[in-house]
Amino acid sequence: MRASQIFIPTLKETPAEAELVSHQLLLRGGFIRRLASGLYTWMPLGLRVLRRVERVVREEMDRSGAQEVLMPVVQPAELWQESGRWEKYGPELLRLKDRHQRDFCLGPTHEEVITDLARREIHSYRQLPVNFYQIQTKFRDEIRPRFGLMRGREFIMKDAYSFHMDHASLEITYQGMYDAYQRTFTRLGLNFRAVEADNGAIGGKRSHEFHVLADSGEDAIVSCNHCDYAANMEKACSPAPAVEQEAWLEAEQVATPGIRSVNGQAKHLGIATRKIVKTVLVLAEDKPYLLLLRGDDSLNLIKAAHALQVEGLRMATPEEAEAATGAPVGFIGPKNLPGSLPVLADLRVLGLRNFSTGANMADLHWVNLNWERDLPRPDAADLREVTAGDACPHCQQGTLYIRRGIEVGHVFQLGQTYSEKMGLSVLDESGRDALVTMGCYGIGVSRVVAAAVEQHFDERGIIWPAALTPFDVGIVAIHARKSPEVAAAAQALHDRLEKAGYSVLLDDRDERPGVQFATMDLIGLPHRVVVSDKVLAQNVWEYRARRATENTLLSEAELMAHLAAGLSGAADQEQQKHQEQAHG
Amino acid sequence: MRASQIFIPTLKETPAEAELVSHQLLLRGGFIRRLASGLYTWMPLGLRVLRRVERVVREEMDRSGAQEVLMPVVQPAELWQESGRWEKYGPELLRLKDRHQRDFCLGPTHEEVITDLARREIHSYRQLPVNFYQIQTKFRDEIRPRFGLMRGREFIMKDAYSFHMDHASLEITYQGMYDAYQRTFTRLGLNFRAVEADNGAIGGKRSHEFHVLADSGEDAIVSCNHCDYAANMEKACSPAPAVEQEAWLEAEQVATPGIRSVNGQAKHLGIATRKIVKTVLVLAEDKPYLLLLRGDDSLNLIKAAHALQVEGLRMATPEEAEAATGAPVGFIGPKNLPGSLPVLADLRVLGLRNFSTGANMADLHWVNLNWERDLPRPDAADLREVTAGDACPHCQQGTLYIRRGIEVGHVFQLGQTYSEKMGLSVLDESGRDALVTMGCYGIGVSRVVAAAVEQHFDERGIIWPAALTPFDVGIVAIHARKSPEVAAAAQALHDRLEKAGYSVLLDDRDERPGVQFATMDLIGLPHRVVVSDKVLAQNVWEYRARRATENTLLSEAELMAHLAAGLSGAADQEQQKHQEQAHG
């Protein structure tokens, strides 16, 4: 295709609205345009990239045996009322009324619709297992849409939903989808990581997130430097150390005037922060809970919510903490706490000896407390965020490290949550009603485009992986309007390359070579071939890979061989890089 | 693909909700399922058909030089307020508010969004002409959604918008799109007709609708039996006959006690209905107009609205008519009408001599009135609906006939309506601001699926055109669960056919042959091959085309030749049929 035939509105300046590199470069390269907050139009170049993502996703879904369907964007409220999410789902669910004042929403996800379809159409164990997927426009009314495609309001998802007679069948499909996701992201040329995630309140047994690794990622993901273990921060854990062996010292109260912080206490008392048990007051639906953590640990609120089996857990304000405990903030502690506040400790707190904590009176702390001797051993669960350097819970040999990731996929065992709420059961082999077990599987198709850019760019622009580039090869015809020979040779090369199966963008615009080169670099095509009077005189082509800094003069046979090797080689390299990372 | 691997929930009974054949058969064949009123899920088989339509549409759009983009479904109200359609567009525009209480709508069309994009991105004549298209989900809140995909609320459109420096450039692209639509619907195997349509109040010069011919069509379309002339009812016209030559008779008033109807008058007065000038009172924004038509003609309200240059024209109630004229309904006439009511006559009324009409008093009519002599000649325009047998306005030789059509496409010259309202201008060659001229072009992608069924079915089910069928060939394996030979031979044939480039559905289900045949007929695959122990013993295949009533025994070489000829032959036949119709 000639550049004069495709609308590529590049920008010289970085738009002020764009913080993330992907947002900046996708705007500057003319891939997308903003219509309104969180709403983007895919321009011709961007849509080419999106379609390539869709194609790989579709091929791998089909290969996995999933069946493509297409459900409506607009969903009736009745189904969400049945599942209970009409109430629970916050303002991110965009609700609307039709002309008859009936309630609907724009689907942020399709569990309700597919479960409704399944209960109407699936009646026998003989119809199971089955796995439906769609690639479809979704809407989530983000309070502050930002980062371009990364967190837009309208976006494109691949979502799949599987139905099973039992958990064993779900496990097989789950693994099949996990493998399909591995193949998908590998084929897309992304450096990614599958990590264990928590199923949370919704039930089900297993879930994994797929993260594209990028410094700008919103999520922290945890990996072991020795084994395959990887998890997100809500799921990642580290073995609690053994109980300390030091001798019990005598407990006593020590004046700590105005000293409310852990660091302040450690300094004032001359002890390590880990020897301090800090208290954190949290609330779920106005019910308070007291959490205990080591002074050197941080609370993970999602872990706490799961451990307490509550939803919507939040930190208490100082006023709420004092009202719930009767003690001044900074001096709250588990010993002799007035009232009957539920207490939950992090597992590592149980291993402490001779620890310090607040005495529930202003300016007073306990030191040298010990469980059982001075206060009862509380219930405990994993509440802390892991930190880099923690021991691996899986192999016990490696240590954990933390990287940033962009979540682009999620596989999730739903179990029977929706089947129960919406009455999805089938007749089993013995003719009895049996609740159906479900899984769901998402890929953020439009987000993949942004994530790929976050991982593949330099100061000049985007560097598309071979599988995602809008065109395989860019041809720059130098002063083509003045040189009919250049114009003809560039067009002929374009035609030969397209015939050889490459998609080609021929820059035939009446622009200075510097502008042409800058455009090619900005839009990130992997291969660039320059056609000028000079190279024509030498009977060669001037080639440069997008990542290279030098030109190479190649005969056409060499160019063809180079492209063929480059495209397959690029894929191999990406795959190799991924595998190294996966075991790195 | 094996039938056991694709979910095809066929129904034996015709769902009570479905009136139209396409709605019935698409539900019965398991192509679609209803989620809520006007909202449908595309099941695996239906989605395969939809994708085939999309593919042909996309290929022909690309071939025409249009560039594919993808705009959001959710659109900000501000743009619709700018164009004036936020007020004008009725309750079919589904309006909604986001969490910040800002107004949005679900796009039923994208003129505003694309015009906004163009005014941001297009600044110079050098960037024109350009033509953007998308294939996208749209929403129109129909008051009474019905007929399945034919008039759903959520549906899939291909919509294109072109931008030009002048009308001559628009004409070129308009013709290009017209040609692309001809190619598209021809390739899809549809018997269709392009008809002239009226541009109405929106301005612009030309528009054409593309109709699939089907008895169930909602629209009447008019064609000449001698030339290419074709138009919809709002646009179709017929030459007014010459002024009658009979001698003037003496005008007089005749008592017509209680005789209000045209037929009643004709009988009572002993004259032809065409000699009666009937009056029709209409209102636009509460302003009344008196229309005059021959007694044997019918008013086309849309023609009248265009002639009067008003919007929202409607018939007056009897009370409104009497209030506006001061005369009793049934006896209203243009002679000595009290007040200053605007009067507009149909062109054919002017040709009358010695006509009859109401005398504006109860039970009294005039007879033998003549223009100029008895009352002034009124302004006139084409207000009547053409009828079968009218003379052709184009060739003047043929006569018109009327068929039913389903509108599946529309090409439309918008002119400068949106450019003016939304301020879309560019610098011309001399550096001056110039308003941009626009065209728009739609195809009802999901409606095409239903329209194809309305045109291609029999009592047993759907008969898909070759271009639309979800699978090219269906293989029925008889008692495959009991005969390993049949199962293996059917699978091997399936594999060979797929390798030869056909998409194949292999019915390997554990069903009676009668059920298998009925399913194949219902879902409408063009070619059926039966594999049974009997035919294996004869070393042949049992073949039947969907339209045939007899089986043919074929060797595999014969089968392959037959399929190859059948697929290309079918396309040829369709094309030939279309051409015959177009000139028929």
Is B569 or A273 the better-scoring residue by pLDDT?
A: A273
> And the tokens for B499?
């390798």
Dist. CA B449–CA B460, nearest whole Å = 18
Given pLDDT bands bounded at 50, 70 and 90, which one contains residue B201? low
> And the tokens for B343?
């009067």
Domain B3-185+412-454 coded CATH 1.10.10.10: no
Per-residue model confidence (pLDDT) at position A131: 98
Query: Minimal Cα distance from A71: which residue of B?
Result: B41
Cβ-defined contact of B73 to A139 (cutoff 8 Å): yes
Residue among B72, B104, B139 minimizing CB distance to A41: B72
Q: How many CB pairs under 8 A join A and B?
A: 131
Q: How far is CA B121 from CA A150, B77, B353, B420, in A?
A: 23, 21, 61, 17
User: A6 vs chain B: nearest CA distance in angstroms?
Assistant: 7
CB proximity list for A231: less than 8 A, separation 6 or greater: A195, A196, A197, A221, A222, A237
Q: Is the pLDDT of residue B206 over 80?
A: yes
The 10 Å Cβ neighbour count of residue A341 is 17
Dist. CA B264–CA B253, nearest whole Å = 16
Cβ-defined contact of A76 to B36 (cutoff 8 Å): yes
Q: Considering only the top CATH level, what class is A471-583?
A: alpha beta
- Chain A residues with CB under 8 Å of B72 CB are 35-36, 39-41, 154
Asked if the bond preceding B129 is cis, omega within 30° of 0, the reply is: yes
Q: Are B520 and B474 in contact (CB under 8 A)?
A: yes
Cβ-defined contact of B74 to A106 (cutoff 8 Å): yes
Q: What is the pLDDT along chain A (584 residues), one digit of tens a residue?
A: 999 899 999 999 999 889 999 999 999 999 999 999 999 999 999 999 999 999 999 999 999 999 999 999 999 999 999 999 999 898 999 999 999 999 999 999 999 999 999 999 999 999 999 999 999 999 999 988 888 899 899 999 999 999 999 999 999 999 999 999 999 999 999 999 999 998 766 666 899 999 999 999 999 999 999 999 999 998 999 998 888 889 999 999 999 999 999 999 999 999 999 999 999 999 998 899 999 999 999 999 999 998 998 888 999 999 999 999 989 999 999 998 877 899 999 999 999 999 999 999 999 999 999 999 999 999 999 999 999 999 999 998 999 999 999 999 999 999 999 999 999 999 999 999 999 999 999 999 999 999 999 999 999 999 999 999 999 999 999 999 999 999 999 999 999 999 999 999 999 999 999 999 999 999 999 999 999 999 999 999 999 999 998 999 999 999 999 898 865 544 444 444 444 444 33
- Chain B residues with CB under 8 Å of A44 CB are 67-69, 132
Cβ-defined contact of A7 to B116 (cutoff 8 Å): no
Q: Indicate the helix (H) or strand (E) that contains A439.
A: strand A437-444
CB contact B579 to A (< 8 Å): no
* Half-sphere exposure of residue A423: CA atoms within 13 angstroms, side-chain side: 3
Domain regions of chain A by residue span: 3-237+401-454, 252-381, 471-583
Phi–psi pair at A260, nearest 5 degrees: -105, -25
Residue among B5, B113, B139 minimizing CB distance to A35: B113
Asked if the bond preceding A76 is cis, omega within 30° of 0, the reply is: no
CB proximity list for A250: less than 8 A, separation 6 or greater: A368
Q: Are B434 and B7 in contact (CB under 8 A)?
A: no
Cβ-defined contact of B5 to A36 (cutoff 8 Å): no
- Chain B residues with CB under 8 Å of A69 CB are 41-44, 47
- Chain B residues with CB under 8 Å of A67 CB are 5-7, 44
CB contact B426 to A (< 8 Å): no
Dist. CA A112–CA A515, nearest whole Å = 51
Please report where in the chains the tokens 């007879």 appear, as a residue: B367
CB contact A458 to B (< 8 Å): no
User: B288 vs chain A: nearest CA distance in angstroms?
Assistant: 30
Which of the following CATH numbers is that of domain A3-237+401-454: 3.30.930.10, 3.30.70.3000, 3.40.50.300, 3.90.1640.10? 3.30.930.10
- Chain A residues with CB under 8 Å of B71 CB are 35, 41-42
CB contact A163 to B (< 8 Å): no
The C-alpha angle with vertex A50 and arms to A44 and A55, in degrees rounded to 5, equals: 125
Select from B415, B360, B447 the least CA-distant residue to B142: B447
User: A302 vs chain B: nearest CA distance in angstroms?
Assistant: 25
The 10 Å Cβ neighbour count of residue A373 is 10
> And the tokens for A299?
């609370």
Q: How far is CA B165 from CA A9, A174, B116, B146, B414, in A?
A: 19, 56, 17, 41, 13
Q: Are A425 and A460 in contact (CB under 8 A)?
A: no
Q: Indicate the helix (H) or strand (E) that contains B187.
A: helix B167-187
DSSP-based helix, strand, coil % in chain B, nearest 5? 35, 30, 40
Asked if the bond preceding A129 is cis, omega within 30° of 0, the reply is: yes
CB contact B42 to A (< 8 Å): yes
Q: Give me the DSSP letters along B348-370.
A: GGGG-SSEEEE-SSTTEEEEEE-
Please give the single-letter amino acid code of residue B203.
Answer: G
Cβ-defined contact of A35 to B153 (cutoff 8 Å): no
* Rounded mean pLDDT, B149-164: 96
CB contact B76 to A (< 8 Å): yes
Query: Which residue intervals of A99-166 are DSSP H helices?
Result: 111-121
- Chain A residues with CB under 8 Å of B41 CB are 69-72, 113, 117
Dist. CA B315–CA B291, nearest whole Å = 10
Question: Burial, A465: exposed, middle or buried (Cβ in 10 Å; 0-12, 13-18, 19+)?
Answer: buried
CB contact B81 to A (< 8 Å): no
Please report where in the chains the tokens 């962009």 appear, as a residue: A406
Q: Is the pLDDT of residue B282 over 50?
A: yes
Given pLDDT bands bounded at 50, 70 and 90, which one contains residue B567? low
Is B308 or A203 the better-scoring residue by pLDDT?
A: B308
Cβ-defined contact of A72 to B143 (cutoff 8 Å): no
- Chain B residues with CB under 8 Å of A6 CB are 67
Dist. CA A180–CA A1, nearest whole Å = 33
Q: Are B112 and B153 in contact (CB under 8 A)?
A: no
Report how far apart the first and last C-alpha atoms of chain B are (Å, whole number).
41
- Chain A residues with CB under 8 Å of B91 CB are 99
Secondary structure tally for chain A: helices H, strands E = 15, 31
Query: Minimal Cα distance from B98: which residue of A?
Result: A94
Query: Minimal Cα distance from A30: which residue of B?
Result: B121
Residue among A33, A70, A99 minimizing CB distance to B141: A99
Cβ-defined contact of B74 to A132 (cutoff 8 Å): no
What is the ipTM, given to two decimal places?
0.91
Cβ-defined contact of B154 to A98 (cutoff 8 Å): no
Q: How far is CA B26 from CA A213, A495, A565, in A?
A: 45, 43, 48
- Chain A residues with CB under 8 Å of B104 CB are 36
Per-residue model confidence (pLDDT) at position B495: 97
User: A324 vs chain B: nearest CA distance in angstroms?
Assistant: 33
Query: Minimal Cα distance from B33: which residue of A?
Result: A117
Q: Is the pLDDT of residue B179 over 50?
A: yes
Cβ-defined contact of B73 to A154 (cutoff 8 Å): yes
Dist. CA B30–CA B9, nearest whole Å = 5
CB proximity list for A580: less than 8 A, separation 6 or greater: none
Phi–psi pair at B80, nearest 5 degrees: -70, -30
Dist. CA B403–CA B405, nearest whole Å = 7
User: B484 vs chain A: nearest CA distance in angstroms?
Assistant: 21
The lowest-confidence range among A67-71, B12-16, B241-245, B364-368 is: B241-245
CB contact A120 to B (< 8 Å): yes
* Rounded mean pLDDT, B393-398: 91
Query: Minimal Cα distance from A77: which residue of B?
Result: B36
CB contact A471 to B (< 8 Å): no
The C-alpha angle with vertex A448 and arms to A444 and A453, in degrees rounded to 5, equals: 155
Cβ-defined contact of A41 to B71 (cutoff 8 Å): yes
Residue among A71, A92, A94 minimizing CB distance to B41: A71
Given pLDDT bands bounded at 50, 70 and 90, which one contains residue B550? very high
Residue among A68, A106, A121 minimizing CB distance to B9: A121
Cβ-defined contact of A73 to B139 (cutoff 8 Å): yes
Cβ-defined contact of B69 to A116 (cutoff 8 Å): no
Given pLDDT bands bounded at 50, 70 and 90, which one contains residue B569? very low
Select from A82, A83, A111, A80 the least CA-distant residue to A93: A80
Please give the single-letter amino acid code of residue A372.
Answer: E
Which of the following CATH numbers is that of domain B252-381: 3.90.960.10, 3.30.300.30, 3.40.228.10, 3.40.50.2300? 3.90.960.10
Please give the single-letter amino acid code of residue A268.
Answer: H
Q: Are A423 and A118 in contact (CB under 8 A)?
A: no
Select from A246, A245, A234 the least CA-distant residue to A209: A234
Q: What is the pLDDT of residues B478-532, one digit of tens each?
A: 999 999 999 999 999 999 999 999 999 999 999 999 999 999 999 999 999 999 9
User: B525 vs chain A: nearest CA distance in angstroms?
Assistant: 19
Select from B138, B25, B75, B220 the least CA-distant residue to B445: B138
